[in-house]
């Protein structure tokens, strides 16, 4: 689909869906009447519509945010709450159909099929993720092993006990599991049926993906979604950006400095507007996730634009005038095989005069001068790379916060 076709489809869908979105009690209250009236063209005057914030969702009830009645609601879910109070939302049978359509085309593009067996070491409960994965795999006829929250040894046991072809997990867990396998039973890898790892739940740099692919000996594909919307995008065989569901979600990239549209290819905050009769519709939802978009054609032939996920707000830091992401630091560190998978970025001094320490676990001591130079080019302030022994850093989180900012204002 050409860029102009996508835009015109999005505008058409937005105009059709807009009265439905405005009819929820939440948007009836939030939007000024001149923005809700029938003369207002949401497609032409999108920037006049106020953003929906995370706090808007946190401090409103799921039933306020839906135009549907209880008889039309199929489930209640809640966000993970990793960056604050969780927000709840409702889900309908129609949402399920759209979700399965979006996920099926991404998964079929990377050859997932009915013969696959998917190991799911993921927390069940109120989060939508596990339910979405069960649904999408059922749609394709693949089998799911709902392992639930599991320690590294239990995940390895699951890989051994079942004919698992796909492991669906976060980059951090995939790193920890392969490290344990290489350390304790390196021959095990040859006995597994595993052919793909689907990474989700957290950003990963391209260097991290390549590192995982080399260690596991299988293809790794990134998937990106958010609880409030569902699956947004996924990698294709080209692994050069994730095709996103431009026909079901209008994605704006907004500069956090002046709240204007970012230039093509520029990184900004992803702002989502849903384009189907979603049970909990979203108008210009400010996600706090940083992305950039590439509209150019992809070698895989898929006719949808590509999105590059840089990280969440908490995965970035502003140094001087520049926003730097942990994924950029990771991209530099993980080029060197001696640097292990755990690292921390610490900022000291003041905002106008700061210095940075990057602590990185290493397999063995290395010369750091070249890497410090690359980190200096990235941050544009002095950086010390501190090599520390393996297992020195705390590993309590599946979505680790890599950045500690000790600067005084």
Residues in touch with Zn ion (CB under 5 A): 236, 238, 298, 300, 302
Kindly state the smallest distance separating residue 299's Cβ from Zn ion, in Å: 6
Kindly state the smallest distance separating residue 105's Cβ from Zn ion, in Å: 11
Kindly state the smallest distance separating residue 248's Cβ from Zn ion, in Å: 18
Kindly state the smallest distance separating residue 306's Cβ from Zn ion, in Å: 7
Instruction: Kindly give, in sequence order, each residue whose CB lies less than 8 Å from that of residue 214, ignoring residues fewer than 6 positions away.
Output: none
Give backbone dihedrals phi and psi of 188, rounded to 5 degrees, phi first: -60, -35
Burial (CB count within 10 angstroms: exposed 0-12, middle 13-18, buried 19+), residue 330: buried
Cα–Cα dist 297/304, whole Å: 8
**Residue with smaller CB distance to Zn ion, 236 or 345:** 236
**Residue with smaller CB distance to Zn ion, 109 or 129:** 109
Give backbone dihedrals phi and psi of 211, rounded to 5 degrees, phi first: -65, -45
**Residue with smaller CB distance to Zn ion, 9 or 300:** 300
Kindly state the smallest distance separating residue 68's Cβ from Zn ion, in Å: 35
Residue 361 in tokens? 């676990």
**Residue with smaller CB distance to Zn ion, 163 or 301:** 301
Across 228-262, b (16+ Cβ under 10 Å) vs e yields bbbbbbbbbeebebbbbbbbbbbbbbbebeeeeeb
Cα–Cα dist 172/342, whole Å: 9
Kindly state the smallest distance separating residue 291's Cβ from Zn ion, in Å: 16
**Residue with smaller CB distance to Zn ion, 88 or 103:** 103
Return the CA Rg of the chain: 22
Cα–Cα dist 405/347, whole Å: 5
Nearest C-alpha neighbor of 170 from the set 141, 144, 204: 204
């Amino acid at each position: 689909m050409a860029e102009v076709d996508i835009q015109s489809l999005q505008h058409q869908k937005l105009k059709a869906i807009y009265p439905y979105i405005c009819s929820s009690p939440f948007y009836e209250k939030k939007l000024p009447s001149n923005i809700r009236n029938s003369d207002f063209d949401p497609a032409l005057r999108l920037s006049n519509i106020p953003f929906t914030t995370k706090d808007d969702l946190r401090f409103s009830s799921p039933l306020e945010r839906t135009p549907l009645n209880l008889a039309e609601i199929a489930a209640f879910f809640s966000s993970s709450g990793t960056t604050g109070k969780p927000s709840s939302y409702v889900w309908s049978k129609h949402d399920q159909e759209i979700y399965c359509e979006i996920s099926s085309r991404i998964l079929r593009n990377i050859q997932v099929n009915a013969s696959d067996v998917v190991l799911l070491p993921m927390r069940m409960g109120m989060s939508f993720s596990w339910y979405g994965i069960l649904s999408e795999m059922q749609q394709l006829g693949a089998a799911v092993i709902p392992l639930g929250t599991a320690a590294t040894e239990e995940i390895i046991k699951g890989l051994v006990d079942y004919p698992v072809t796909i492991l669906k997990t976060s980059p951090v867990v995939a790193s920890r599991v392969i490290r344990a396998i290489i350390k304790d039973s390196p021959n095990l890898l040859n006995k597994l049926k595993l052919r793909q790892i689907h990474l989700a739940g957290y950003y990963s740099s391209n260097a991290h993906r390549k590192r995982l692919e080399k260690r596991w000996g299988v293809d790794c594909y990134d998937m990106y979604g958010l609880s409030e919307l569902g699956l947004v995008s996924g990698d294709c065989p080209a692994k050069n950006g994730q095709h996103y569901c431009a026909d079901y979600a209008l994605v704006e990239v907004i500069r956090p400095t002046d709240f204007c549209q970012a230039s093509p290819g520029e990184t900004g905050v992803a702002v989502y507007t849903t384009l189907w009769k979603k049970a909990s519709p979203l108008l210009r939802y400010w996600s706090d996730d940083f992305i950039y978009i590439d509209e150019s054609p992809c070698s895989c032939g898929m006719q949808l634009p590509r999105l590059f996920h840089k990280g969440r707000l908490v995965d970035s830091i502003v140094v001087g005038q520049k926003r730097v992401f942990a994924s950029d630091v990771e991209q530099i560190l993980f080029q060197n095989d001696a640097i292990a998978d755990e690292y921390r970025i610490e900022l000291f001094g003041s905002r106008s005069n700061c210095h940075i320490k990057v602590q990185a676990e290493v397999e063995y001591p290395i010369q750091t001068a070249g890497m410090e130079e690359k980190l200096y080019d990235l941050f544009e302030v002095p950086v010390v790379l501190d090599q520390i022994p393996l297992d020195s850093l705390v590993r309590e989180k599946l979505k680790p916060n890599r950045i500690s900012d000790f600067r005084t204002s």
